[in-house]
Structure 1
Amino acid sequence: MTSAPPSRDKLLGEGDFLSWSSLLTDTEHQALMRQRRFLVEKAQPALAEHWDQGLTPHVLREEYVREGLVRPAELPAGEDLRPLFVGVRNAELSRMDGSLAILIGGQIGMFNTVMRVGLPEQEYANLRPEIEEFRVTGCFALTEPEHGSDVAGGLSTSAERRGDTWVLRGEKKWIGNAELSQVLLVAAVDTADAQVKVFRVPADAPGVDIERMTGKTSLRMVGNARIRLHEVEVAEEMRLPRINSFADLNRAFRQLRPDVVWNAVGLQAGVYEHTLAYAREREQFGRPIAGFQLVQEKLARMLGNLNASLGVAVRLAQREEETGAPVSQAEAALAKSWVTRQMRETAALGREILGGNGILLEHHVARFHADAESLYTFEGTYEINSLIVGRAVTGRSAFTT
């Protein structure tokens, strides 16, 4: 039996068995191939050392911008990038490394999305070029030391209004890219109406303390931080006026969860690619292990997981393009929970095939295996996303209060 012909663009490597990336246009392909060359030539040589030492390769983010890869010149100026292009771009970043995807995607994805949802259209349009060119850098500070899955009704960070000024008090945790940010988008509960508001807080404002977290075993190159807010004063004009409740904030999450889906697709493509290469070269009992039946069965499962995940991700992008709006909360939740579960199995199978070498950075798979655990958890755990889907299909909420 012969394998399917390789994808014309090779963007997702040998893992794109069903040629999903052939759905891209020629100009999109050209732009993404330029990104691929940048990743191979500039990023790949630095990854193992930075991951091992827990250092953030911030210079790569700066070079990425200088190369014009955020809004590529190959694509029509003034037009929104197609969701499929944005998705494959995220997958390609994650295929190289999960931390790198967050280092870049946290700015042009999460920070940019929350600003777009929260600001008036014209104000956001004026600020958008500065965000995309990284002249204004930022992060989104939501999660807290004691509140992760229950942030919808359990935020402790408070915002008290005093005339035209707000006073913020509280603490955030796990905030990616905080050390590299000029602006912190802080979610806090209004003491007057108990509703969530979001504020643009300068990272160097009096009362703001940012402390890099250490001891992580996953996404080690991402500079996650604790942020402590001690009587931080913020002008009313720095509040995002279109976010006045957690329901408003959910409009951003509907757009962010598909990003995680594409990251999980890219991680699977990366671990499959490195595992396959290893299996072809590694010899045991006098021949390459790629010829062993049990190894081939595991590779087939990895390939199936990856292509099924690609199918889900591509359909989300198509739905967004068809409707001109983000997919529903339940659709995004189903995709995030299912794809990250398949990703977790794919990463585990890759590590199994490498045996003891599967925990060595020199073979790459160890990075993907560790990073899969973070993707499985953030933007809503498997359980929380499952309950969102369950509520949608049954009409009954199983969330506890």
Structure 2
Amino acid sequence: MTLTTSQTNALPTTDLDSAAPAELLDVDFYSFQNLLTPEEQASVSRVRAFLEERVRPNADELWDKAQSPRHLIPEFAALGLFGAGWPETRQFENSAVYRAWIALEISRVDPSTATFVGVHSGLAMNAVGVGGSEEQRAEWMGPMGRGELVGAFGLTEPEHGSDTARGLQTTATRDGDQWTLNGAKRWIGNATFADMVVIWARDTADDQVKGFIVRQPAEGFTATKIERKQSLRGVENADIVLENVIVPESDRLQNIDSFRDVAIVLRMTRAEVAWQAIGVMVGAYEAALAYAKQRVQFGKPIASFQLVQQKLANALSNITASIALCVRVSEMQDEGIQKDHHSAMAKAFATARMRETVALCREIMGGNGIQLDHGVARYFADAEAVFTFEGTFDMNSLIVGRAITGIAAFH
């Protein structure tokens, strides 16, 4: 497949020279952020300040109400959070480590916001960037980068998640210059309000998976918000039903010929989700540390107790080890040598450490750890979704196992 690099609809370059480099987070124990260029660090500083001012104050309330921060989309775009890796939409030359660090920063404040950005920019925009023709990229990348259009990514189905590569049931049937899509999708973020949804369907003629841009609204396309979630409540996931949805050939992603092409997009986003897991750990750790310093029991702050310090040390070790692993995976992306098993190992390792870390942080807070007001409960709950999406721990482990042995343990 051929990747194009159209400059059409490029975003204006943002002058970051006057911005001060970001101070290192205390949790960045080995100073990994120093790997970023001065321009990248200045952007991190700008994003971090925005998140503290505009996202953190309302994060608990929006999570409690199960609402997405849609009102901030223009500001997200102005910060360059959408399509930062593509020539049409990047505000300055940057590395995969920088883009991943931004995912950490967003998730550190609000994992739901990080997931919204990841779906729109990491999945939908990357699908167009990887699979779209020159004309498709020219039409969609600029407006999506500016936040004028919002995207969603429809791959998972009600009966097919881990086995989607072989089990995908949504069909696409060609008749002349148009396709008819039929099927169902589940857990599709942003789908209730997206302007376009990338739908992955199996071609009834050659049995290969292909990608389609479904413009909204579309006749026969229904997206229903999934209610009663207890994780990532600020993400509006949907069930999608497609009943004879007509898509012109011009809206089929022209450079997608099989699921192997889809996997290129997933490889990129899976590594970013590993960084999102680090952000969840960092947010929980920072809240637990602040609490431990001010919470007094037996006449002294609980931060002075040996077992509390051990929990904090274990949490910080998990964060540091995960950053080290994920930095290298992101560097490999820039070097063009990142493979599926590299992303899979990073996602499996980081999310497993995340689950352990948020539990340690909740333990430090005792009963207060289950209440939103004390800062850890939201991360504790959100960790469960991050642990699962972009490939379960088991599936990612088996992808690594296949690389080790040359034998696939899933069929």
In the other structure, the counterpart of 1:338 is 349
1:274 is matched with: 287
> How does 1:116-127 map onto structure 2 within 5 Å?
116-121=129-134, 123-124=136-137, 127=140
Distance (Å, rounded) in 1 between the aligned partners of 2:366 and 2:90: 48
Does 2:312 align with 1:309?
A: no
Aligned mates of 2:215, 2:404 — CA distance in 1: 42
Given the alignment of the two structures, is residue 369 of structure 1 paired with residue 380 of structure 2, yes or no?
Answer: yes
Of 28, 37, 52, the match for 1:16: 28
Indicate the RMSD between aligned Cα atoms, in angstroms. 1.9
Residue matched to 1:212:
225
Alignment-derived partner of residue 67 in structure 2: 55
**1:150 counterpart residue number:** 163
CA contact (8 A) 2:361 2:376 kept: yes
What is the TM-score normalised by the length of structure 2? Answer: 0.91
Q: Secondary structure at the match of 2:192?
A: helix
Secondary structure at 1:156 match in 2: coil
Query: Is 2:183 the counterpart of 1:170?
Result: yes
Deviations 1:320-366 (A, max 9, x none): 22x2x261011111111111101110111111111111111011100
1:358 is aligned, of 357, 363, 369, to 369
Aligned to 1:3: none
Q: Shift of residue 161 of structure 1? A: 1.2
Equivalent residue for 1:242, pick from 241, 255, 262: 255
Native 8 Å contact 2:40 2:94 kept in 1:
no
Unaligned runs of 5+ in 1: 1-7
Residue from 178, 198, 205 that aligns with 1:185: 198
Q: CA deviation at 1:70?
A: 4.5
Q: In percent, how many aligned pairs have the same letter?
A: 44
Q: Distance in 2 between matches of 1:130 and 1:293?
A: 53
Match of 2:11 in 1: none
Cα deviation, residue 165, structure 1 = 1.2
SS class of match (1:169):
strand
Q: Counterpart of 1:4?
A: none
8 A contact 1:333–1:389 mirrored in 2: yes
Secondary structure of the corresponding residue to residue 218 of structure 2? coil
C-alpha spacing 1:42/1:14, structure 2 compared with 1 (3 Å): same
Instruction: Provide the residue aligned with 1:349 in structure 2.
Output: 360
- How far did 1:65 drift? 2.0
Distance of 1:390 and 1:145 partners within structure 2: 27
Is there any run of 5+ residues in structure 2 with no aligned partner, and where? 1-20
Instruction: Provide the C-alpha distance between the structure 2 equivalents of 1:177 and 1:203, rounded to a whole number of angstroms.
Output: 12
Residues 295-327 of structure 1, C-alpha deviation per residue, up to 9 Å, x if partnerless?
Answer: 110100000000000001111122222x2x261
Change (3 A) 1:370 1:120: same
For 2:332, what is the secondary structure of its paired residue? helix
d(CA) in 2 for partners of 1:134, 1:234: 24
Q: What residue number does 1:100 align with?
A: 113
SS at match of 1:396: coil
Work out whether 1:398 is the aligned partner of 2:397.
no
Q: 1:67 to 1:116 in 2, by over 3 A?
A: closer
Output one character per residue of 1:125-167: Cα deviation in whole Å (capped at 9) or x when no partner: 5642222112232111001111111101111111111111111
How many angstroms does 1:67 deviate by?
Answer: 4.8
* Separation in 2, partners of 1:32, 1:182: 29
1:71-100 Cα offsets, whole Å, 9 max, x none, are 79xx99775421111011110000001001
Q: Distance in 1 between matches of 2:345 and 2:128?
A: 25
Letter of the aligned partner of 1:41 in structure 2? E
Residue identity matched to 1:117: V
Please say if residues 82 and 147 of structure 2, whose CA atoms lie closer than 8 Å, have aligned partners that are also in contact.
no
- Which residue pairs with 1:320 in the alignment? 333
SS at match of 2:256: coil
Distance, in Å, in 2 between the alignment partners of 1:111 and 1:190 is 20
**Residues 247-267 of structure 1 deviation map (CA, whole Å, 9 limit, x = unaligned):** 121111111111101101111
Aligned residues, how many?
388
Offset from partner CA, 1:155-198 (integer Å, 9 cap, x none): 11111111111111111110001123100100111111111111
Q: Flag the 1:376–1:154 CA change in 2: closer, same or farther, 3 A.
A: same
Shift of 1:122: 6.0
Distance 1:116 1:265, change over 3 A: same
Would you say the 8 A contact 1:87–1:262 is kept in 2?
yes
Residue type at the aligned position of 2:323 = L
Conserved in 1, the CA contact under 8 Å of 2:311 and 2:360? yes
Assess if the C-alpha contact under 8 Å between 2:74 and 2:146 holds in 1.
Answer: no
1:394 maps to amino acid? T
**Paired AA for residue 279 in structure 2:** G
Is 1:144–1:173's contact at 8 Å kept on the other side of the alignment? yes
Q: Measure how far apart 1:245 and its partner are.
A: 1.2
Q: Which residue of 2 aligns with 1:382?
A: 393
